[in-house]
Every structure is written in structure tokens, then in C-alpha cells.
A and B are shown apart, each in its own frame.
Chain A
Amino acid sequence: KAGVTQTPRYLIKTRGQQVTLSCSPISGHRSVSWYQQTPGQGLQFLFEYFSETQRNKGNFPGRFSGRQFSNSRSEMNVSTLELGDSALYLCASSLGAGPTYEQYFGPGTRLTVT
């Protein structure tokens, strides 16, 4: 079974631009969560989607948004990029959204903002 895939793997953008990252979960998984990982802050929760609905949101500004499609694929968008948005963005999928469901992480998208 294929794992979680994320595209693109690497991205370089300029301040003020916007970016869209894509995540395809493991087949059959309906929950997708997004995280930002930086050396200083570690892994921080962005949001979680289940059955096309955002169920939870972390403490990030409104410039960060996401959505989930009917096939469970998810995208996240960052508008008006800032230098501090440079990070590894990780997507994780799980079979369901209950407390015992393990999350499987994708390889991440490395975003560099210049």
C-alpha cells in the first residue's frame, strides 16, 4: 500500500507570494492533519480535516488555510508569505479521527521563503 505522498518536495518562494501544498493520504484514510516543523518551534499543529470538514485548527494566522476533497486528498495554502514561514510542512493521514488512530506522516514539503 502506498504511503502518504506530498508534492512538491521542495519549494522556494519570495516574500508576499502565495503557495499551495498538496497531500495524498494512504488509500482508505479519511483524516488528514497538517503540521509545520521548524528547528525553533518543533512540530506545530496547523489543522485537521475529516470527510472534507475542518475539525480542528491550531494557533496560526488566517494566512494559513486548507481544504479536503471528496477523495480525501488535501491542500494547504499560505498567502502573503513571510520569511518566518520557511519550514518543513508535514501531512499525516489516519484511518479515522478517533483517539486510537495512528497518524502516518508523509515526507514533507520543504518551503523556503526568501
Chain B
Amino acid sequence: GQNIDQPTEMTATEGAIVQINCTYQTSGFNGLFWYQQHAGEAPTFLSYNVLDGLEEKGRFSSFLSRSKGYSYLLLKELQMKDSASYLCAVRDRGSGGYNKLIFGAGTRLAVHP
């Protein structure tokens, strides 16, 4: 089956570093995405990993280990505006051979002063 797990809530302090973990089980893995979603808004793309290793993009980095079914999103120099939900999504090759995104429930991050 397909399953994606990530913590429900996290809190962190402004200026600090936070790591949001995501574990997944899927039969046809074809890439992992991280999205940010502020309350009442649409998700926005943060990062994409398809090969093992770390992808860095400014204050955000994402890591993938395909053998462990594991990814994390690292946020550095936290700002108040980073308070949002962070969605881990796996692109899975469906039975028809085409890809679909399967989302985790999201991690709600609260950044406080």
C-alpha cells in the first residue's frame, strides 16, 4: 500500500533550525516533493528529490534516502513567516503507469519569538 508519515505539529524559535521528517511506503516511488501551505492558502512548491542526498535552496534543504523510505526538510534561520504547514508528497507510479502525488497529512510548524 501507500503510506506517508510526518509529525503533526512542531514548534521552534525564531532564528533556530528545525528538521521535519517524513517516512513513506510506496510501490512505485518516482520522486518526493515538499510543499509549504499557509493557512487559507494554496500549497507552494519548496523542493524536489528523486536521487539520494541533499538538495539545498537558500534557507531550505531537503534530504532523501530511498533505501530507508525517508526524507527530511531542514529550515534554517527561522522567521515568523515560516509558520505554516509543511506537506511531504511522494510521486507514485500508479497502476496505469502514470504518476500521481500522494500527500502526507502535513506538519504544522509554529515559530515563536
Binding site for B on A (CB under 8 A): 4, 33, 35, 41-45, 48, 50, 55-56, 58, 90, 97-100, 102-108
Residues 44-68 of B at the A interface (beta carbon under 8 Å):
44-45, 48, 50
Closest chain A residue to B95 by CB distance? A56
Instruction: Determine whether the beta carbon of A42 is less than 8 Å from that of B30.
Output: no
When A33-B100, A56-B98 are in contact, do A103 and B45 touch as well, CB less than 8 Å? Answer: yes
Instruction: Determine whether the beta carbon of A105 is less than 8 Å from that of B100.
Output: no
Instruction: Determine whether the beta carbon of A97 is less than 8 Å from that of B105.
Output: no
By CB atoms of chain A within 10 A, which of B42, B44, B87, B94 has the most?
B42
Alpha-carbon distance A27/B102, docked complex (angstroms): 25
Contact partners of B30 in chain A: CB under 8 A: 99
Instruction: Determine whether the beta carbon of A48 is less than 8 Å from that of B98.
Output: yes
Alpha-carbon distance A4/B102, docked complex (angstroms): 20
When A42-B104, A42-B106 are in contact, do A90 and B45 touch as well, CB less than 8 Å? Answer: no
When A44-B103, A56-B96 are in contact, do A102 and B50 touch as well, CB less than 8 Å? Answer: no
Instruction: Determine whether the beta carbon of B43 is less than 8 Å from that of A102.
Output: no
Instruction: Determine whether the beta carbon of A56 is less than 8 Å from that of B91.
Output: no
Alpha-carbon distance A55/B98, docked complex (angstroms): 6
Residues 77-113 of B at the A interface (beta carbon under 8 Å):
87, 89, 91, 94, 96, 98-106
Contact partners of B89 in chain A: CB under 8 A: 43
Instruction: Determine whether the beta carbon of B99 is less than 8 Å from that of A97.
Output: yes
Alpha-carbon distance A107/B41, docked complex (angstroms): 6
Instruction: Determine whether the beta carbon of B101 is less than 8 Å from that of A100.
Output: no
Alpha-carbon distance A103/B34, docked complex (angstroms): 11
Instruction: Determine whether the beta carbon of B42 is less than 8 Å from that of A43.
Output: no
Q: Which of B42, B103, B106 contacts A106 (CB 8 A)?
A: B42
Q: Which of A56, A106, A107, A108 contacts B99 (CB 8 A)?
A: A56
Looking at the assembled complex, report how far the CB atom of B29 sits from the nearest CB atom of chain A, in whole angstroms.
10
Looking at the assembled complex, report how far the CB atom of B102 sits from the nearest CB atom of chain A, in whole angstroms.
6
Contact partners of A107 in chain B: CB under 8 A: 41-42
Closest chain A residue to B43 by CB distance? A105
Instruction: Determine whether the beta carbon of B31 is less than 8 Å from that of A55.
Output: no
Alpha-carbon distance A35/B87, docked complex (angstroms): 14
